[in-house]
C-alpha cells in the first residue's frame, strides 16, 4: 500500500527551538526522474528537536533517505570519512567548528560533495565566502520546507540552489561595494549575469530564476547591449572590470 504523506498545516514550527521552516506539505522532489536510488542526506544541527523535525519532514518526501543525524562538525567529519552521502545539510552555528568551517574542510577534500547550508540570517559576506568555498546550496531558515527539499534535490543533481533572499543579499552587497558609478545593469540583469558567470546554460538559468528560456535569452541580449559587447566572455570581463561581479564567487560550478 502506498505511503500516505501527512497533511501538515501551515503551522510555523517556531515552538521547536531553532527552526522556522513551514511544514507545508512538501511537494514531490523536482528533477528526480532519472534517479534510481534515494538521495542520501546527512543532517548536522546541534538542536536535537530541530534535526528530528527535519528528518521527519524529509522522511515524508519521496526520494530522500536520511542516513545520519549529527550534532557537531567533528562527528559529521568522522561520519563522512567512513560513509558516502549525496548531500550534507548543515546549520551554520554549531558548537566547536562552525558549519562554514565544516563545509570548507569537506570541500577541500572532496570538491564534488553536495552541501546545503542553513542559516538564521542572510549575511552577504558569509554567502559570498561559502560560494567561494564551493558550497552549492544556501537556504535561510525563514524559508519554507519546500525550499529546502528543492535545494537538496538540485544540489544532489549537481546543480546549485541559492534561495532568493541569499541571491538578493549578494547583489545588494555588490552594489554597496561598487564605486559611485552606477551599475549599467538592473537587478534582474545582474542576477542573470551571476548565473552566467557560474557556467549555467540558458535552460538551467531559466529553471533557477523560474522564467522561460525565451525571457532569459532576452535578458542576455539586454546585458550584451548595456555592456556594449558581443558575447558572454566579453560581458563577464567587462562586469568584473566594473566590479559588477566579484572573483570570490563568480566561479564555475563543480560538476
Average pLDDT (43-65) is: 87
Residue 118 in any domain: the answer is: yes
- What is the overall mean pLDDT for the chain? 76
pLDDT at 240: 78
Overall size of the chain counted in residues: 255
Average pLDDT (46-60) is: 85
| pTM for this predicted structure | 0.60
Looking at the fold, whether 75 and 189 belong to one and the same domain comes out as no
Looking at the fold, whether 236 and 111 belong to one and the same domain comes out as no
pLDDT digits (tens, 9 = 90+) for 147-202: 889 899 999 988 888 877 666 666 566 555 554 455 688 767 887 888 888 788 99
137, 166, 195 - which closes a domain: 166
pLDDT of residue 53 exceeding 50, the answer is yes
Query: What CATH number is associated with residue 25?
Result: 3.40.50.2300
Domain around 71? 13-166
pLDDT digits (tens, 9 = 90+) for 55-106: 888 888 888 999 999 999 999 999 999 999 999 999 988 988 889 899 989 9
Residue 188 in any domain: the answer is: yes
CA-to-CA separations, 105 to 76, 77, 89, 204, in angstroms, rounded: 11, 8, 14, 28
Amino acid at each position: 500500500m502506498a505511503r500516505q504523506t501527512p497533511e501538515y498545516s501551515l503551522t510555523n514550527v517556531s515552538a521547536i527551538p531553532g527552526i522556522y521552516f513551514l511544514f507545508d506539505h512538501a511537494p514531490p522532489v523536482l528533477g528526480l526522474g532519472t534517479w534510481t536510488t534515494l538521495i542520501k542526506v546527512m543532517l548536522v544541527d546541534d538542536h536535537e528537536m530541530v534535526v528530528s523535525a527535519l528528518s521527519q519532514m524529509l522522511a515524508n518526501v519521496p526520494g530522500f533517505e536520511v542516513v545520519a543525524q549529527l550534532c557537531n562538525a567533528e562527528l559529521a567529519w568522522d561520519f563522512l570519512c567512513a560513509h558516502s552521502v549525496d548531500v550534507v545539510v548543515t546549520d551554520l552555528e554549531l558548537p566547536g567548528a562552525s558549519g562554514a568551517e565544516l563545509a570548507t574542510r569537506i570541500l577541500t577534500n572532496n570538491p564534488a560533495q553536495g552541501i546545503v547550508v542553513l542559516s538564521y540570517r542572510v549575511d552577504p559576506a558569509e554567502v559570498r565566502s561559502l560560494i567561494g568555498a564551493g558550497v552549492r546550496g544556501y537556504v535561510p531558515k525563514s524559508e519554507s520546507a519546500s525550499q529546502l527539499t528543492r535545494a537538496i534535490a538540485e544540489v544532489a543533481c549537481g546543480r546549485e540552489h541559492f534561495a532568493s533572499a541569499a541571491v538578493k543579499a549578494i547583489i545588494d552587497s555588490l552594489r554597496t561595494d561598487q564605486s559611485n558609478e552606477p551599475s549599467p545593469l538592473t537587478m534582474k540583469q545582474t542576477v542573470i549575469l551571476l548565473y552566467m558567470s557560474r557556467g549555467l546554460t540558458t535552460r538551467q538559468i531559466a529553471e533557477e530564476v523560474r522564467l522561460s528560456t525565451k525571457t532569459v535569452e532576452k535578458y542576455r541580449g539586454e546585458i550584451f547591449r548595456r555592456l556594449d559587447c558581443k558575447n558572454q566572455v566579453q560581458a563577464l570581463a567587462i562586469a568584473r572590470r566594473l566590479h559588477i561581479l566579484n572573483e570570490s564567487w563568480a566561479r564555475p560550478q563543480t560538476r
